[in-house]
Amino acid sequence: MTQSSDDERAESGQDYADAGALLENLAQRHSNPRPARPGAADNIGGLDLGDDESGIAFDSTWRRHSVQIFDPAEVYEQMRLLAAGDDDGTSHLSSEDTTRFVKLRWLAEQSARKPVLLGTAPMREQLSGLRARCPGFVAVTDLVNRAVALSIMTGTPLSLPPLLLAGPPGLGKTHYSKSLATVLGVPTHAWSCATNSDAMQLITGHPTSWRGARMGLLTEALVTSASATPVVLLDEVDKFVTHRDEQPYNILLNVLEAETAEALLDEYLRVRFDVSRACFIATANDVSALPDFIRDRFLIVAVVAPTGADLVALTRQIAAKVITPLGLPMPGDTVVAALARHNPRRIARVLRLALGFAAAQGRDVLVPADVTAADAIASAQAARASIGFIRPRKETEADRE
């Protein structure tokens, strides 16, 4: 992408002497806004936003099925406050304020409206397929399916409560969340709470007094998203790691409470955003590690480990995903049964190791012995806690003998 002259000047530290003209131009652009064609968002949720080149029909449909996620007037006000008091525009600003001005300018050039997500009949059909592919998440899929049905019946946007998928590791909670977003036709914005060390940066952005302050990752993602209803995935929320004096779960209240989510203040830009239509999905291995006030604000759904025929069917799906790109034949029932003793994450790992054993012997077809050999390697790791729905077999006196 070619940089504009303004961007180049900002990066080189030059001043915005034409800040007044810039603000006037931006204000005129939004005084009678005609939203730009949203590109990838044209068919979000199966909604056709129209192709009328005149823009009249397009604008009508767009406004009927879209929402304003921020107020351009608030952006202009913050820019004016920064540019005030100097005839040369922004020449008086510090480097930090200049950086903030550039970010506000970027925001002013983005569309303040995003399409909402409406339920469709094809969406329900895809949810039926997801239900079959992910048997351990039937309760979640059915919940979403009912919400889609309500959206279709009422012609109103799809609405889901904040969801917390609870269960031991290895069951595919993260994979399911992303698959659900794909079925709904919306983007996924995923963050690992286990490795995040700055909850403010993630949710609200930093106060301008902080060194290295920046816009919130969530609000920035929403601005660049193709939908007002993206899936926001807070992975392993029970392992939120932050600064010593920070209260990460308190910050989460800003998006889990409907009233505050409708006017989430980005501390860096000092502009409010409506994130209330985002679909928040959190995953957790240990729900008891979460504060009561956080558990109370999520709809907690226990992920059920597949068993019997469901487990075998899931194993076949995982095997197909690993083997098909390699152009190798699918394993037989006995091999699938041997793989099905493991949780989904371990199935893929053992399968890849087993394929190596077969290839080393010049075979393109797996046999149970390949799985046994691969399992021995995978089990040679350091002692580990129980994972997923498989409980490691305890060593007995007979085994030691």
- Say whether pLDDT at 303 is over 50: yes
Give which of 267, 280, 261, 266 is closest to 67, Cα–Cα.
Answer: 261
For the segment 377-392, what is each residue's pLDDT rounded down to a tens digit?
A: 877 653 454 555 455 4
Secondary structure class of 363 (helix, strand, coil): coil
The model's pTM? 0.72
| Residue 4's pLDDT band (cuts 50, 70, 90) | very low
- Say whether pLDDT at 23 is over 50: yes
The token duo for 174 is 């993260």
Mean pLDDT of the chain: 79
299 near 140, Cβ under 8 Å? no
Which domains are present in the chain? 5-113 (no CATH), 121-302 (3.40.50.300), 308-400 (1.10.8)
Q: What is the structure's pLDDT at 43? A: 36
Position with higher pLDDT, 292 vs 170: 292
- Say whether pLDDT at 2 is over 50: no
Give which of 222, 264, 259, 19 is closest to 107, Cα–Cα.
Answer: 222
Token pair 């779960």 is at which residue?
249
Full strand arrangement of the beta sheet holding 163-166? 188-192, 231-235, 279-284, 163-166, 299-302
Q: What is the structure's pLDDT at 400? A: 39
Q: How far is CA 134 from CA 236, 282, 303, 304, 388, in A?
A: 19, 17, 10, 10, 15
Q: What is the structure's pLDDT at 17? A: 45
Q: What is the structure's pLDDT at 47? A: 32
Position with higher pLDDT, 164 vs 250: 164
| Residue 306's pLDDT band (cuts 50, 70, 90) | confident
